[in-house]
Amino acid sequence: MKLIVIAFSLLISSTLFAQSKKELLAENAQLKSESARLKSEIEELKKPKEVAIETSHQRASYALGVLMASNIVSQGGDSLDAEVISQAFLDFYAKKNLKINEQECMPIAQQYMQAASEQKAEAVKKVNVQFLEDNKTKEGVKVTASGLQYKVVSTGKGKAPVATDNVTVHYTGKLVDGSIFDSSIERGQPATFGLNQVIRGWTEGLQLMHEGDKFIFYVPQELGYGERGAGGQIPPYATLIFEVELIKVN
């Protein structure tokens, strides 16, 4: 009789355990589903909210934001956290307690931007130096004493200019990544200038040419715009690549 009671008790316990396990599995699956739903909602909330750009007020606001972002990026601040910048704007406009005192902000920002700018400049230097090192070993590329590299594409039989001459040329200027920053060809109008009015790389390089010649110049930053760069298109320490046709010595 005892054995029957024990067996019956074990059967009940086994059944209850199976039911309990089944319920736990169901609850676990439900929790996973709920967790996935919450994660999806959080990701949606993180996405930037689309704002209307319709009224003059909205257009001016957006335009100012673009100009400020462009200024920050041009100074090497493209590594900054845009969401935190937006939050700072919102906190200031809403007159909330700022997480960093306003008087502390300038030195913090200046120190960061200076370091970011220097880091970006070093990275640009490294890429451009390596480009010139690799380029000078390529077939047809010659190097002058100053470090100017050039390649003859085709030759003419006209006059060669001197440093005080004016010349008329067609050209396309590129960075080492292939992006074009200037082109007389795209404008459809040759450029005329004095050889003593341009960067050192041009002054030297064009004196190697004759009317009708087509050269490619690889201008190290020391013979170009150096640490200044030029406008928003030529960064500091950039190597410049010019495809040049000398049309006329004036």
- Please give the Cα distance from 229 to 182 (Å, whole number): 14
Catalytic residue among 85, 112, 165, 182: 182
Q: Do 181 and 173 contact (CB within 8 A), yes or no?
A: yes
Is 242 among the residues known to form the active site?
yes
Is 218 among the residues known to form the active site?
no
Q: Do 95 and 183 contact (CB within 8 A), yes or no?
A: no
The gap from C-alpha 28 to its chain's centroid, in whole angstroms, comes to: 46
Is 225 among the residues known to form the active site?
yes
Backbone torsion region of residue 231, taken as left when φ is above 0, otherwise alpha when ψ lies between -120 and 50, otherwise beta: left
Catalytic residue among 225, 237, 241, 247: 225
| DSSP-derived secondary structure for 84-129 | HHHHHHHHHHTTPPPSS-HHHHHHHHHHHHHHHHHHHHHHHHHHHH
Compute the CA torsion angle 58, 64, 70, 72 (nearest 10 deg).
-120
- Please give the Cα distance from 209 to 204 (Å, whole number): 10
Is 62 among the residues known to form the active site?
no
Catalytic residue among 131, 215, 242, 247: 242
Catalytic residue among 150, 171, 218, 237: 171
Is 182 among the residues known to form the active site?
yes
Per-residue CA distances from 53 to 24, 46, 59, 181 (Å): 51, 21, 6, 30
Q: Do 209 and 215 contact (CB within 8 A), yes or no?
A: yes
From the number of C-beta atoms within 10 Å of its C-beta (0-12, 13-18, 19+), residue 80 rates as middle
- The catalytic residue positions are 171, 181-182, 199, 225, 242
